[in-house]
């Protein structure tokens, strides 16, 4: 016990010198400011994670066409399979990466995830056939399991009053990545056709027209990989297992070694029972279900928007080029960044995570309803309407995602946060596996029913997206979603009986950070 040291204002709490998690907790106890360095690197990690997810959507239509594996109206089917392969790989491994981060630390899982982006995203850019594209995307998803640990990490490096900002940064950069990624894909795909003065048809990027956007993302990933080594680990590693948050119990220290051994065994058993009950925790599971269902909508929209924008006018699309899509998404990304950094955190603290999620999902429905009618516009009116709709839709969508992040982290203690977020990533990946495949198939079917009497063409596509949003809104009400997900779980609440917890709910105000 001589390895512990006590801070000036410890109030009886001691921290282990050789425990990285205790060092982070000590800094939080003695410094009330924002962890700027850690949150900046977290932002880069989330950006690196989300960039390759949807960067392929603007050029996927043309990539599948270049593979010569189907007719024009069938491109949506094959595009959906390629888009789903990434999430299917992540579905199979996300829970394992979450458990690994709880056992070995957040940082190793982050490094492996970034390395997978460098390797497999580059290989996807040089795909020469349909099966190579699917395989590289599947491997990228399988080894990229860092989002769950990153969400846990963003809560662990922040004081309680700053957790809304920490998770808002995760949600913001996730949304920004899902916008900047397609923007990069739109601007840099087929460079020999768009920029013949810079790239010749016989150059590397002429022979592999979709390598440049992938390579840009891989270069960013290299920078993030090196930067990650400067992140402090937050996982607690103590001589005695079961001591939460690095706290030293004076009662244990004042008694003999036999008492320590008995306490170690008891606390280990307690933790094992507690961890086994994660699937039985309804606040955790309900938060994950809301997150998963909205993720199905989110990834389907991301794919459908790009496919719809580049599809011909006669099929209800906008006849945009990939560069046009990139411009729209770049403008959306700037507006989203401003909103999430300066408006969302105080808004979440004011109204709570549940209400933010509910209102954002509800307001998205009328926005999506106007999308099919945008094809009737042209010129400057089309650009103004499309950019406004895209900005509002992505702001609301990212607010829903961030709200679900808050609810999940509110519902679980730190020692299970990695596993809980890994479980959420598993469920989300399954739904996002279905999203591109279902969205691509729905889009291809809608292309063939332009003259239908009920919801013709793309009207059916956006109607189905709204139908999923209605389900999300309904699930944010009690009894499906408990009120306890609206505020962070506290240590005394873990040890209290249900009656005491209910009394606290009535006596204490609800908050989200």
Output b/e per residue, 258-295; b: 16+ Cβ within 10 A: eebeebbeebeeeeeeeeeeeeebebbbbbbbbbbbbb
- At 233-267, the pLDDT tens digits run 777 776 544 444 444 443 334 344 444 444 444 44
Q: Which residues does the chain have with pLDDT short of 50?
A: 1-11, 240-270, 272-274, 276, 491-513
Q: Which fold has domain 21-236+282-507?
A: Growth Hormone; Chain: A; (1.20.1250)
Confidence at residue 463, expressed as pLDDT on a 0 to 100 scale: 94
Q: What are the tens digits of pLDDT across the range 416-458?
A: 777 787 788 788 888 888 887 788 888 888 888 888 888 888 8
The DSSP line for 93-141 is HHHHHHHHHHHH-HHHHHHHHHHHIIIIIHHHHT--SHHHHHHHHHHHH
What confidence score (pLDDT) does residue 499 get? 43
Boundaries of every domain in the chain: 21-236+282-507
Per-residue model confidence (pLDDT) at position 402: 82
Residue 240 is given by DSSP the state S
pLDDT for 163? 67
What is the pTM (predicted TM-score) of this model?
A: 0.66
Per-residue pLDDT at 217: 93
Tell me the two tokens of residue 298.
């989110």
What pLDDT is stored for residue 324 in this prediction? Answer: 86
């Amino acid at each position: 016990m001589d390895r512990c040291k006590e801070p000036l204002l410890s109030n009886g709490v001691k921290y282990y010198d050789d425990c990285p998690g205790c060092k982070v907790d000590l800094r939080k106890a003695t410094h009330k400011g924002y962890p700027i360095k850690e949150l900046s690197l977290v932002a880069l990690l989330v950006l690196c994670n989300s960039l390759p997810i949807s960067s392929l959507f603007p050029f996927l239509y043309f990539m599948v066409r270049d593979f010569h594996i189907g007719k024009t109206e069938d491109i949506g089917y094959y595009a959906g399979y390629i888009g789903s392969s990434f999430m299917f790989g992540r579905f199979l491994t996300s829970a394992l990466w979450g458990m690994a981060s709880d056992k070995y630390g957040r940082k190793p899982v982050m490094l492996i995830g970034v390395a997978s982006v460098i390797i497999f995203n580059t290989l996807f850019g040089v795909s020469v056939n349909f099966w190579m594209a699917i395989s590289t995307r599947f491997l990228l998803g399988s080894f990229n399991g860092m989002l769950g640990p990153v969400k846990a990490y963003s809560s662990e490096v922040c004081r309680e009053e700053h957790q809304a900002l920490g998770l808002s940064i995760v949600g913001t950069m996730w949304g920004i990545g899902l916008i900047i990624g397609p923007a990069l894909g739109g601007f840099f795909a087929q460079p020999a056709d768009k920029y013949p003065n810079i790239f010749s048809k016989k150059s590397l990027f002429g022979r592999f027209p979709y390598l440049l956007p992938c390579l840009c993302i891989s270069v960013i990933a290299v920078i993030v990989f090196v930067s990650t080594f400067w992140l402090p680990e937050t996982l607690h590693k103590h001589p005695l297992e079961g001591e939460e948050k690095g706290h030293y119990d004076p009662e244990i220290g004042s008694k003999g070694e036999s008492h320590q051994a008995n306490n170690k065994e008891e606390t280990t058993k307690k933790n094992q029972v507690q961890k086994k009950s994660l699937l039985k925790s309804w606040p955790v599971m309900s938060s994950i279900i809301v997150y998963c269902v909205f993720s199905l909508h989110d990834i389907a929209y991301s794919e459908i928007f790009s496919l719809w924008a580049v599809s011909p006018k006669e099929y209800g699309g906008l006849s945009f080029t990939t560069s046009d899509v990139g411009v729209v998404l770049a403008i959306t990304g700037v507006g989203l960044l401003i909103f999430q950094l300066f408006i969302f955190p105080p808004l979440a603290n004011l109204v709570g995570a549940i209400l933010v999620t509910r209102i954002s999902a509800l307001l998205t429905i009328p926005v999506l309803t106007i999308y099919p009618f945008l094809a009737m516009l042209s010129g400057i009116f089309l650009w103004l309407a499309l950019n406004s709709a895209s900005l509002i839709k992505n702001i609301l969508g990212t607010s829903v995602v961030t709200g679900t992040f808050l609810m999940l982290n509110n519902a679980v203690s730190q020692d299970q946060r990695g596993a809980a977020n890994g479980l959420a990533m598993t469920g989300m990946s399954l739904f996002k596996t279905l999203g591109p495949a279902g969205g691509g198939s729905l889009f291809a079917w809608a292309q063939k029913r332009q003259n239908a009497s009920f919801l013709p063409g793309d009207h059916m596509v956006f109607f189905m997206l709204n139908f999923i949003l209605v389900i999300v809104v309904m699930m944010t009400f009690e009894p499906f979603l408990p009120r306890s997900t609206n505020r962070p779980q506290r240590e005394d609440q873990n040890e209290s009986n249900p009656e005491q917890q209910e009394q606290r709910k009535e006596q204490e105000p609800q908050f989200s950070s």
